[in-house]
Chain A
Amino acid sequence: MPDFKNDISKALNGLDTQVILMVSDFVKRRKKHYEEAAAKLHLELKTDVERYGVMLLEGVITKDEFEMLVNSRTGLLKIQILEEMAISKAKFEEIAIEVAKLAIKAVFLLL
Protein backbone atom coordinates (compact mmCIF):
# COMPACT_ATOMS: atom_id res chain seq x y z
CA MET A 1 0.00 0.00 0.00
CA PRO A 2 2.74 2.58 0.76
CA ASP A 3 3.98 2.07 -2.84
CA PHE A 4 0.57 3.00 -4.26
CA LYS A 5 0.48 6.06 -2.07
CA ASN A 6 3.91 7.05 -3.37
CA ASP A 7 2.77 6.64 -6.98
CA ILE A 8 -0.30 8.77 -6.38
CA SER A 9 1.66 11.33 -4.48
CA LYS A 10 4.17 11.59 -7.35
CA ALA A 11 1.40 11.84 -9.95
CA LEU A 12 -0.42 14.55 -8.02
CA ASN A 13 2.79 16.44 -7.23
CA GLY A 14 3.44 16.54 -10.96
CA LEU A 15 0.26 18.60 -11.31
CA ASP A 16 1.37 21.31 -8.87
CA THR A 17 2.70 23.75 -11.48
CA GLN A 18 -0.26 23.17 -13.79
CA VAL A 19 -2.78 23.76 -11.00
CA ILE A 20 -0.97 26.86 -9.73
CA LEU A 21 -0.86 28.30 -13.26
CA MET A 22 -4.53 27.49 -13.88
CA VAL A 23 -5.68 29.09 -10.63
CA SER A 24 -3.40 32.14 -10.76
CA ASP A 25 -4.38 32.81 -14.37
CA PHE A 26 -8.03 32.56 -13.35
CA VAL A 27 -7.54 34.95 -10.40
CA LYS A 28 -5.65 37.46 -12.58
CA ARG A 29 -8.38 37.40 -15.23
CA ARG A 30 -11.15 37.83 -12.63
CA LYS A 31 -9.25 40.64 -10.88
CA LYS A 32 -8.93 42.55 -14.15
CA HIS A 33 -12.61 41.90 -14.89
CA TYR A 34 -13.65 43.11 -11.39
CA GLU A 35 -11.61 46.32 -11.72
CA GLU A 36 -13.18 47.08 -15.11
CA ALA A 37 -16.67 46.21 -13.87
CA ALA A 38 -16.28 48.38 -10.74
CA ALA A 39 -15.09 51.37 -12.80
CA LYS A 40 -17.97 50.92 -15.26
CA LEU A 41 -20.62 50.56 -12.53
CA HIS A 42 -19.27 53.59 -10.66
CA LEU A 43 -19.27 55.74 -13.79
CA GLU A 44 -22.82 54.71 -14.70
CA LEU A 45 -24.07 55.40 -11.17
CA LYS A 46 -22.41 58.83 -11.12
CA THR A 47 -23.80 59.76 -14.55
CA ASP A 48 -27.34 58.71 -13.61
CA VAL A 49 -27.41 60.43 -10.21
CA GLU A 50 -25.97 63.61 -11.75
CA ARG A 51 -28.74 63.52 -14.35
CA TYR A 52 -31.40 63.11 -11.62
CA GLY A 53 -29.82 66.07 -9.80
CA VAL A 54 -30.01 68.28 -12.89
CA MET A 55 -33.63 67.21 -13.45
CA LEU A 56 -34.44 68.18 -9.85
CA LEU A 57 -32.69 71.57 -10.14
CA GLU A 58 -34.50 72.31 -13.40
CA GLY A 59 -37.84 71.41 -11.80
CA VAL A 60 -38.40 68.50 -14.20
CA ILE A 61 -38.91 66.09 -11.27
CA THR A 62 -39.95 66.67 -7.65
CA LYS A 63 -37.83 66.13 -4.53
CA ASP A 64 -39.83 62.96 -3.73
CA GLU A 65 -39.26 61.63 -7.24
CA PHE A 66 -35.55 62.44 -6.96
CA GLU A 67 -35.31 60.47 -3.71
CA MET A 68 -37.25 57.56 -5.23
CA LEU A 69 -34.92 57.52 -8.25
CA VAL A 70 -31.70 57.63 -6.19
CA ASN A 71 -33.06 54.80 -4.05
CA SER A 72 -34.01 52.86 -7.16
CA ARG A 73 -30.60 53.48 -8.80
CA THR A 74 -28.81 52.27 -5.66
CA GLY A 75 -30.96 49.13 -5.83
CA LEU A 76 -29.94 48.62 -9.45
CA LEU A 77 -26.27 48.90 -8.45
CA LYS A 78 -26.76 46.23 -5.77
CA ILE A 79 -28.46 43.92 -8.29
CA GLN A 80 -25.63 44.45 -10.79
CA ILE A 81 -23.08 43.56 -8.09
CA LEU A 82 -25.09 40.41 -7.29
CA GLU A 83 -24.98 39.56 -11.00
CA GLU A 84 -21.17 39.86 -10.95
CA MET A 85 -21.06 37.62 -7.87
CA ALA A 86 -23.23 34.96 -9.53
CA ILE A 87 -21.07 34.98 -12.68
CA SER A 88 -17.87 34.78 -10.61
CA LYS A 89 -19.24 31.92 -8.53
CA ALA A 90 -20.11 29.97 -11.68
CA LYS A 91 -16.66 30.66 -13.15
CA PHE A 92 -14.94 29.72 -9.91
CA GLU A 93 -16.76 26.40 -9.98
CA GLU A 94 -15.64 25.82 -13.56
CA ILE A 95 -11.98 26.23 -12.56
CA ALA A 96 -12.42 24.09 -9.43
CA ILE A 97 -13.96 21.33 -11.55
CA GLU A 98 -11.07 21.61 -14.04
CA VAL A 99 -8.58 21.14 -11.19
CA ALA A 100 -10.50 18.11 -9.88
CA LYS A 101 -10.67 16.63 -13.41
CA LEU A 102 -6.92 17.02 -13.76
CA ALA A 103 -6.36 15.12 -10.50
CA ILE A 104 -8.81 12.39 -11.53
CA LYS A 105 -7.06 12.00 -14.91
CA ALA A 106 -3.64 11.78 -13.24
CA VAL A 107 -4.84 9.01 -10.92
CA PHE A 108 -6.60 7.10 -13.70
CA LEU A 109 -3.39 7.13 -15.73
CA LEU A 110 -1.80 5.05 -12.96
CA LEU A 111 -4.38 2.27 -13.41
Chain B
Amino acid sequence: MKNQSKSSPRFSFFFALAIALSSLSIGLSSCTATYDAVSSGNLQQITNTLPTLMSKGIGNFADYRGEVAKAKELLTTAITHASTVKNNKEAIGALTTLNEKIALPFFALWEEKGKVSGPAVDEAVSNARKSLESLTKIEATKKGAPK
Protein backbone atom coordinates (compact mmCIF):
# COMPACT_ATOMS: atom_id res chain seq x y z
CA MET B 1 0.00 0.00 0.00
CA LYS B 2 2.81 2.30 1.00
CA ASN B 3 4.75 1.51 -2.18
CA GLN B 4 1.67 2.12 -4.25
CA SER B 5 1.19 5.54 -2.75
CA LYS B 6 4.86 6.45 -3.29
CA SER B 7 4.69 5.73 -6.99
CA SER B 8 1.43 7.60 -7.42
CA PRO B 9 1.29 10.82 -9.45
CA ARG B 10 0.21 12.61 -6.26
CA PHE B 11 3.45 11.61 -4.49
CA SER B 12 5.58 12.55 -7.52
CA PHE B 13 3.90 15.91 -7.76
CA PHE B 14 4.46 16.71 -4.06
CA PHE B 15 8.01 15.45 -4.24
CA ALA B 16 8.79 17.72 -7.20
CA LEU B 17 7.18 20.65 -5.41
CA ALA B 18 9.17 19.94 -2.23
CA ILE B 19 12.39 19.90 -4.25
CA ALA B 20 11.42 23.19 -5.92
CA LEU B 21 10.72 24.81 -2.53
CA SER B 22 13.99 23.47 -1.10
CA SER B 23 15.87 24.95 -4.04
CA LEU B 24 14.15 28.26 -3.35
CA SER B 25 15.45 28.30 0.22
CA ILE B 26 18.96 27.46 -0.97
CA GLY B 27 18.72 30.18 -3.62
CA LEU B 28 17.64 32.75 -1.05
CA SER B 29 20.67 32.06 1.12
CA SER B 30 23.02 32.72 -1.79
CA CYS B 31 22.44 36.51 -1.71
CA THR B 32 25.24 37.05 0.81
CA ALA B 33 28.92 36.42 0.14
CA THR B 34 30.48 33.19 1.29
CA TYR B 35 33.16 33.38 3.96
CA ASP B 36 36.66 32.70 2.67
CA ALA B 37 39.93 32.40 4.51
CA VAL B 38 41.84 34.71 2.12
CA SER B 39 39.50 37.68 2.70
CA SER B 40 39.60 37.04 6.42
CA GLY B 41 43.42 36.75 6.40
CA ASN B 42 43.79 39.97 4.40
CA LEU B 43 41.58 41.83 6.86
CA GLN B 44 43.50 40.42 9.80
CA GLN B 45 46.80 41.58 8.28
CA ILE B 46 45.41 45.08 7.65
CA THR B 47 44.06 45.23 11.21
CA ASN B 48 47.46 44.20 12.56
CA THR B 49 49.48 46.69 10.52
CA LEU B 50 47.50 49.77 9.38
CA PRO B 51 46.62 51.47 12.71
CA THR B 52 50.09 50.75 14.11
CA LEU B 53 51.75 52.22 11.02
CA MET B 54 49.47 55.28 11.05
CA SER B 55 50.34 55.88 14.69
CA LYS B 56 53.96 56.35 13.55
CA GLY B 57 52.80 59.44 11.63
CA ILE B 58 54.40 61.69 14.27
CA GLY B 59 57.77 60.45 12.99
CA ASN B 60 59.62 61.26 9.75
CA PHE B 61 57.85 59.85 6.71
CA ALA B 62 61.17 58.95 5.10
CA ASP B 63 61.80 56.42 7.87
CA TYR B 64 58.56 54.61 7.08
CA ARG B 65 58.42 54.87 3.30
CA GLY B 66 58.90 51.11 2.83
CA GLU B 67 56.24 50.17 5.40
CA VAL B 68 53.77 52.61 3.85
CA ALA B 69 54.36 51.05 0.42
CA LYS B 70 53.72 47.58 1.89
CA ALA B 71 50.51 48.78 3.60
CA LYS B 72 49.26 50.29 0.32
CA GLU B 73 50.02 47.01 -1.45
CA LEU B 74 48.19 45.05 1.24
CA LEU B 75 45.11 47.21 0.84
CA THR B 76 45.19 46.89 -2.95
CA THR B 77 45.56 43.10 -2.68
CA ALA B 78 42.60 42.91 -0.28
CA ILE B 79 40.39 45.02 -2.58
CA THR B 80 41.40 43.00 -5.65
CA HIS B 81 40.59 39.73 -3.90
CA ALA B 82 37.31 41.04 -2.44
CA SER B 83 36.24 41.97 -5.99
CA THR B 84 36.52 38.33 -7.03
CA VAL B 85 34.08 37.18 -4.32
CA LYS B 86 30.40 37.01 -5.36
CA ASN B 87 27.79 39.16 -3.57
CA ASN B 88 30.53 41.00 -1.72
CA LYS B 89 29.37 44.59 -2.38
CA GLU B 90 29.54 45.78 1.24
CA ALA B 91 33.04 44.42 1.90
CA ILE B 92 34.37 45.84 -1.41
CA GLY B 93 32.80 49.24 -0.64
CA ALA B 94 34.15 49.29 2.91
CA LEU B 95 37.68 48.26 1.90
CA THR B 96 37.77 50.77 -0.96
CA THR B 97 36.56 53.53 1.37
CA LEU B 98 39.14 52.58 4.00
CA ASN B 99 41.81 52.83 1.33
CA GLU B 100 40.66 55.97 -0.50
CA LYS B 101 39.21 58.04 2.35
CA ILE B 102 41.25 56.99 5.37
CA ALA B 103 44.59 55.37 4.54
CA LEU B 104 45.72 57.10 1.32
CA PRO B 105 44.85 60.71 2.35
CA PHE B 106 46.69 60.13 5.65
CA PHE B 107 49.78 58.74 3.89
CA ALA B 108 49.66 61.55 1.32
CA LEU B 109 49.61 64.24 4.03
CA TRP B 110 52.33 62.46 5.98
CA GLU B 111 54.53 62.28 2.86
CA GLU B 112 53.83 65.88 1.88
CA LYS B 113 54.43 67.42 5.33
CA GLY B 114 57.06 64.97 6.53
CA LYS B 115 55.18 64.54 9.85
CA VAL B 116 51.61 64.67 11.15
CA SER B 117 50.74 66.25 14.50
CA GLY B 118 50.07 63.93 17.45
CA PRO B 119 46.37 64.88 17.92
CA ALA B 120 45.66 64.44 14.17
CA VAL B 121 47.40 61.06 14.23
CA ASP B 122 45.32 59.93 17.22
CA GLU B 123 42.06 60.93 15.51
CA ALA B 124 42.99 59.31 12.19
CA VAL B 125 44.07 56.09 13.93
CA SER B 126 40.77 56.02 15.82
CA ASN B 127 38.84 56.33 12.51
CA ALA B 128 40.92 53.54 10.99
CA ARG B 129 40.35 51.23 14.00
CA LYS B 130 36.59 51.85 13.99
CA SER B 131 36.48 51.19 10.22
CA LEU B 132 38.30 47.91 10.73
CA GLU B 133 35.83 46.94 13.48
CA SER B 134 33.00 47.52 10.98
CA LEU B 135 34.83 45.49 8.33
CA THR B 136 35.23 42.64 10.82
CA LYS B 137 31.46 42.75 11.45
CA ILE B 138 30.81 42.72 7.68
CA GLU B 139 33.01 39.60 7.38
CA ALA B 140 31.03 37.98 10.21
CA THR B 141 27.76 38.32 8.25
CA LYS B 142 29.13 36.12 5.45
CA LYS B 143 27.73 32.65 4.95
CA GLY B 144 29.79 30.09 6.87
CA ALA B 145 31.74 32.69 8.85
CA PRO B 146 33.03 31.35 12.17
CA LYS B 147 30.74 32.48 15.02
Q: Is the CB of A55 within 8 A of B119?
A: yes
Q: Does B74 contact A (CB under 8 A)?
A: no
Q: Is the CB of A76 within 8 A of B102?
A: yes
Q: Does A71 contact B (CB under 8 A)?
A: yes
Contacts of B15 in A (CB 8 A): 111
Interface size class of B (residues with CB under 8 A): 35 or more
Contacts of A97 in B (CB 8 A): 25, 28-29
Complex CA–CA separation, A104 to B32 (angstroms): 22
What are 24 of the A-B contact pairs (CB < 8 Å)? A4-B14, A48-B123, A55-B120, A62-B117, A64-B112, A65-B116, A71-B105, A72-B101, A75-B98, A75-B100, A76-B130, A78-B93, A82-B90, A83-B134, A89-B32, A93-B31, A96-B28, A97-B28, A100-B21, A100-B25, A104-B21, A104-B22, A107-B18, A111-B18
Q: Which of B101, B106, B117, B128 contacts A74 (CB 8 A)?
A: B101
Contacts of B17 in A (CB 8 A): 8, 107
Complex CA–CA separation, A83 to B94 (angstroms): 8
Interface residues of B in 1-41 (CB under 8 A from A): 9-11, 13-15, 17-18, 21-22, 24-25, 28-29, 31-32
A4-B10, A4-B14, A71-B101 known; A103+B32 contact, CB < 8 A: no
The minimal Cβ–Cβ distance linking B63 to chain A, given in whole angstroms, is: 20
Contacts of B29 in A (CB 8 A): 93, 97
Interface residues of A in 28-84 (CB under 8 A from B): 48, 51-52, 55, 60-62, 64-65, 68-69, 71-76, 78-80, 82-83
Q: Is the CB of B141 within 8 A of A79?
A: no
Q: Is the CB of A78 within 8 A of B90?
A: no
Interface residues of B in 95-147 (CB under 8 A from A): 97-98, 100-102, 105-106, 109, 112-113, 116-117, 119-120, 123-124, 127-128, 130-131, 134-135, 137-138, 141
Q: Indicate with 1 or 0, residue by residue over B68-107, a CB within 8 angstroms of chain A CB atoms.
A: 0000000000000000000000110110011011100110
Q: Is the CB of B141 within 8 A of A87?
A: yes
Interface residues of B (CB under 8 A from A): 9-11, 13-15, 17-18, 21-22, 24-25, 28-29, 31-32, 90-91, 93-94, 97-98, 100-102, 105-106, 109, 112-113, 116-117, 119-120, 123-124, 127-128, 130-131, 134-135, 137-138, 141
Complex CA–CA separation, A71 to B10 (angstroms): 64
